[in-house]
Structure formats: structure tokens, C-alpha cells
């Protein structure tokens, strides 16, 4: 069974496409911001006269804080209302973006990036819940697919816009651009996103102890995975972080089992569709971020392309994802979510295998086609899988479900980079130039295994073709 609870649409759901547009603008803004900062790290390093290890924390801190508060923000939406948390997230994000642009030192920028990530977590964890509650089941995949498209458009536009703004205006513009875009999205959200009706869930108490131990455990785990290749897997700091993560998450689970209003309702995972969709999401993002990590090494170091050429080649993947996601979401509303999810990850697995066959002389056309196939597979998968996960959770746990989905993305991202980084480091340690192509090949084969496991997980779900019986409103 995939639909555990029917989701009641608000009385004014005729504004649902304005809701979609409001959420889409916010999604584009956060995706743009998440991708643009990576491209200006060398500029930030030079401006602040810092080393790359220190300035890299502008990216690392954003990832850690975002991941730590996704589930917390989703649960806060369930308790206090998704619109309230979503709008508050915009306010925090806009103000912190201005402060990032005004930063005069690297520590200031890192601090304000942490605040910015808090606002981003409030947006990311509540936007799927808002869409799910404002669209009927027969259009859920379509709505989530359009949101995914806005994500990929932001990822595509980020590096290009970041380069242009930085070169012709200055790096601070990268953060200032969030202000007019964010204000537009904020006004649209206030006007068109309906408030949830008061019900029993609004009287739930927020689980502060659970939120603390979950955040501590997840941050420790993600920091260990993120820094293991630099600090060493057997180093004392990494072992300490992993130990802290295990202890914190164990305490978190114990708390959640007894809490009357848990931050994470563990019974959600008793639903096979929910559990399988979560696992599939993690496996997908491990594969996806293996590509994002490995391909720059192949293109820049192995093939000696310049950054502009490499960036242009890498856009093939998110462009196909942007095209495929809404189409797949539309189809999943009519044929069910299971088949597209299985198919998407199967296509991704094939793409990973083909990418593992890249050589020092592979043609540009071959590279672009293989990246496009990988983007097609991921695009086919994401919308149906998200629809299945959101549809399998009760209406009073939509924020929690969205938080789980977003946390799965962050975990898969860090695992993908960590696994690929460990493979690259271990193989290229003694002979970096000659062994690079071998490392890239092994890394893509590992990503292929991840995609296969994700496809198998998706196949465990029941078929939900009852979606076809719903009428579109």
C-alpha cells in the first residue's frame, strides 16, 4: 500500500499553480546558491588571503548545518505549520545572504553561511510537504517533477552566473542576487501558500532532545565522511567523530521510541514503500555525486580541459535531469511510481558502467552522451520516488517525510563524495598521473553497484497504479 492517508486539499487549491511557482522560485534560488559558491572558492581564497582548507569551510559548514536541520525543520512544519516555517526560512535566508555579501573576513563569511544553511533547511524540508498538500495524488508526481526541474536549472545556472557576476561585478553579487529573488518568492509564498487548518497535530510538542541528538549524530557522521580522505580514516579525530555519531544516534533512537510526539516517527519506516524509497534515494545520490566528484578530475587533470570547457560538458547531465523529471513525474501519476523508479536507476547503472569505460582518448561526443544518459536516468527516477515517499506518509507527517527525503539526499551526497574520494586517494597515492584513469573507472563501477542496489530497493515496493484512478483537479 502506498497511500497511507488521503491528503485533504485546502479550500483554495485552485491557486495550486501559484503555490508551485512560489515553491519553484525558492527551490531555484537555494539550488543556485548551493552550486554557485563552489565555483568562486579560488576567488574567495585570494580575496581573504586564506588557504583553501580554511575557505573550503564556506561550503562544508553549509552542508553540515543544512543536513543537521532538515529533519528538525520538517518536524517543526508538522507541529507549527509548513507555511510558517517556510516563510521564516525565506526571511533567514535573505538576511543571511545580505550578511554573507557584507562579510569582511573569512570567519564572518563562514558564520553567515551557517545561518544561511539554517534558512535553506527550513525551505527544503517544507516545500515538498506544501506541494503534496496542495496538489491531488493524481498530480503529485507532476508537481514534484516541476520542483526537481527548478532544482536542476539552479544547478545548471549557478556556475555560469557565478563566474559572470564574479568576473564583471564582484563575488559579493553572488550573495546579493538572493535578495531580490528571495523577496519575490517570499511575497508569492505569503500571498498564495494557504495556511494549514488547525488540528490535533498543531498541539504536538516539539521533541527538543530528539532534535539535539539527531543533529549531533548526523553532523558527526557527515563531518567524518567529508574529512576522512584528508584526515585519514584511522585518524583519532575521524574515529572520535564516528564514535560520537554512533552514540548520539543510538540515544536518539531510544528517545524516539518513548517520546509521545517524536521528531522522527519511526513507524514510518514500517511502511515498505517509505523505507524502500528512502534507501533508493540514498543510493541514487551516491551515484549522482560520484559523477559530480570524479568527472572534474577526469576532465581537468586527466584530459587537460580548461574549467570553462569542463563546465560546459558537465551541464549535459543536469539539463537532461531537468527535462526528464517533469515528464517522468507526469507519467508516474498515470502508471504508478514503481516502474519509473526502477527504470531510472537501471538506466543510471548502465550509464555508470559506460562511464567506467572512458579512456584518455574518449571523444567529447562520447563524454556528453554518457553524462546525458546518467542525467536521464536520475531525472526519470527522482520525481516518482519522491512522490512514492511523500504519498506513503500520513498527512500529519508530511514535513517529517520531506525532511527524511532531504536528509537522504545529503547523506547520499556525502557518501558519494566520500566513497569516490577514498577510491581516488587510495589508488593515486603513489602514481597520481598514471593511476588517475584507473581510479575514475573503479569509482564509477562502485557507483554502478549503488545504482543497482537502489533499483533493487525500488523493486521491493508494491505497485501503486491506483494513482490512475484519481481524477485530476
Mean pLDDT lowest for which of 156-170, 284-298, 392-406? 156-170
Which residues, at least 6 apart from 431, have a Cβ–Cβ distance to it below 8 Å?
Answer: none
Question: Which pLDDT does position 470 carry in this prediction?
Answer: 41
> First and final CA of the chain: distance in angstroms?
23
Q: Is residue 394 pLDDT above 90, yes or no? A: no
Q: Quickly list DSSP for 281-348.
A: HHHHHHHHHHHHHHHHIIIIIIS---HHHHHHHHTHHHHHHHHHHHHHHHHHHHH-SHHHHHHHHHHH
DSSP assignment of 181-233: HHHHHHHHHHHHSPPPPP-GGGGPPP-HHHHHHHHHHHHHHHHHHHHHHHH-T
Separation CA 22–CA 16 (nearest Å): 10
Q: Phi and psi at residue 461, in whole multiples of 5°?
A: -70, 155
Read off the pLDDT of residues 217-271 as tens digits, 9 standing for 90 and up.
Answer: 888 888 887 777 777 778 899 999 999 999 999 998 998 888 777 778 788 888 8
Beta-carbon-side half-sphere exposure of residue 86 (alpha carbons within 13 Å): 34
Residue 71 to residue 163: CA distance in whole angstroms: 33
CA 384 to CA 325: how far, in whole Å?
Answer: 9
C-alpha cell at 270: 514500517
Closest CA to 286 of 120, 457, 410: 410
pLDDT of residue 270: 87
Q: What does residue 249 show for φ and ψ, rounded to 5 degrees?
A: -70, -30
Positive or negative, the Cα torsion across 288, 346, 444, 441? negative
Sequence length of the chain is 473
pLDDT of residue 53: 64
Other Cβ atoms within 10 Å of 333 Cβ, number: 27
Please answer whether residues 354 and 370 qualify as being in contact, where contact means their C-beta atoms are separated by less than 8 angstroms.
Answer: yes
* Alpha-carbon gap, residue 440 to 297, rounded angstroms: 8
**What would the pLDDT profile of 352-387 be if each residue is shown by its tens digit?**
999 999 999 999 999 999 999 999 999 999 888 988
Query: Looking at residue 466, what is its pLDDT?
Result: 45
pTM attached to this predicted model:
0.78
| Distance separating alpha carbons of residues 471 and 350, to the nearest angstrom | 36
Is residue 471 over pLDDT 70?
no
166 membership: H or E segment, kind and range: helix 137-168
CA-to-CA distance for 108 and 8, rounded, in angstroms?
A: 44
pLDDT digits (tens, 9 = 90+) for 110-124: 999 999 999 998 998
Q: How far is CA 249 from CA 68, 122, 217, in A?
A: 12, 22, 5
List, for residues 24-33, the tens digit of each pLDDT value: 888 888 888 7
235-238 contacts: CB < 8 A, separation 24 or more?
none
Number of other residues whose CB lies within 10 A of the CB of residue 199 = 10
Average pLDDT, the chain: 82
Burial of residue 253 (CB within 10 Å: 0-12, 13-18, 19+) is middle
Work out the pLDDT band at 334, boundaries 50, 70, 90: confident
Q: Nearest to residue 398, comparing CAs of 81, 103, 176?
A: 81
pLDDT digits (tens, 9 = 90+) for 134-155: 888 777 777 877 777 787 778 7
Which of helix, strand or coil describes residue 136? coil
The b-or-e profile of 99-111 (16+ CB within 10 A means b, else e) is bbbebeebeebbb
Q: What does the pLDDT read at residue 463?
A: 65
Amino acid at each position: 500500500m502506498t497511500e497511507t492517508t488521503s491528503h485533504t486539499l485546502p479550500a483554495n487549491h485552485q491557486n495550486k499553480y501559484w503555490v508551485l511557482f512560489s515553491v519553484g522560485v525558492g527551490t531555484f534560488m537555494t539550488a543556485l546558491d548551493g552550486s554557485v559558491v563552489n565555483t568562486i572558492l579560488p576567488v574567495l581564497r585570494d580575496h581573504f588571503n586564506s588557504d583553501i582548507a580554511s575557505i573550503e569551510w564556506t561550503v562544508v559548514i553549509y552542508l553540515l548545518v543544512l543536513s543537521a536541520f532538515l529533519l528538525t525543520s520538517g518536524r517543526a512544519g508538522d507541529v507549527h505549520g509548513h507555511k510558517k516555517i517556510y516563510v521564516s526560512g525565506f526571511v533567514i535566508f535573505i538576511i543571511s545572504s545580505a550578511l554573507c555579501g557584507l562579510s569582511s573576513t573569512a570567519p564572518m563569511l563562514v558564520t553567515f553561511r551557517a545561518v544561511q544553511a539554517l534558512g535553506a533547511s527550513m525551505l527544503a524540508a517544507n516545500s515538498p510537504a506544501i506541494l503534496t498538500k496542495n496538489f491531488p495524488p493524481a498530480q503529485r508526481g507532476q508537481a514534484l517533477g516541476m520542483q526537481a526541474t527548478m532544482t536542476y536549472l539552479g544547478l545548471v545556472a549557478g556556475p555560469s552566473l557565478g563566474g559572470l557576476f564574479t568576473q564583471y561585478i564582484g563575488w559579493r553579487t553572488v550573495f546579493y542576487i538572493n535578495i531580490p529573488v528571495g523577496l519575490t518568492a517570499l511575497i508569492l509564498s505569503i500571498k498564495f501558500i494557504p495556511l494549514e487548518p488547525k488540528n490535533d497535530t498543531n498541539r504536538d510538542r516539539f521533541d527538543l532532545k530528539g532534535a539535539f541528538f539527531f543533529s549531533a549524530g548526523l553532523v558527526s557522521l557527515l563531518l567524518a565522511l567529508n574529512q576522512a580522505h584528508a584526515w585519514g580514516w584511522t585518524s583519532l579525530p575521524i574515529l572520535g567523530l564516528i564514535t560520537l555519531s554512533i552514540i548520539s544516534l543510538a540515544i536518539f533512537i531510544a528517545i524516539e521510541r518513548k517520546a509521545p510526539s517524536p521528531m522522527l516517527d519511526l513507524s514510518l519506516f514500517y511502511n515498505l514503500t517509505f523505507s524502500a524509497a528512502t534507501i533508493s534515494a540514498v543510493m541514487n545520490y551516491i551515484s549522482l555525486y560520484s559523477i559530480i566528484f570524479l568527472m572534474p578530475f577526469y576532465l581537468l587533470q586527466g584530459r587537460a580541459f580548461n574549467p570553462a570547457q569542463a563546465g560546459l560538458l558537465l551541464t549535459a547531465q543536469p539539463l537532461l535531469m531537468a527535462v526528464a523529471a517533469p515528464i517522468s513525474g507526469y507519467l508516474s501519476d498515470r502508471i504508478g511510481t514503481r516502474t519509473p523508479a526502477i527504470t531510472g536507476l537501471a538506466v543510471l547503472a548502465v550509464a555508470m558502467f559506460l562511464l567506467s569505460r572512458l579512456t584518455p582518448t574518449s571523444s567529447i561526443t562520447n563524454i556528453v552522451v554518457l553524462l546525458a544518459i546518467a542525467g536521464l536516468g536520475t531525472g526519470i527516477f527522482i520525481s516518482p520516488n519522491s512522490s512514492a515517499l511523500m504519498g506513503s506518509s500520513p498527512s500529519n507527517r508530511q514535513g517529517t517525510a520531506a525532511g527524511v527525503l532531504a536528509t537522504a539526499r545529503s547523506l547520499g551526497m556525502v557518501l558519494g563524495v566520500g566513497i569516490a574520494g577514498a577510491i581516488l586517494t587510495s589508488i593515486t597515492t603513489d602514481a597520481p598521473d598514471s593511476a588517475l584513469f584507473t581510479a575514475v573507472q573503479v569509482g564509477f563501477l562502485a557507483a554502478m553497484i549503488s545504482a543497482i542496489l537502489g533499483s533493487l530497493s525500488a523493486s521491493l515496493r508494491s505497485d501503486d497504479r491506483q494513482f490512475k484512478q484519481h481524477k485530476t483537479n
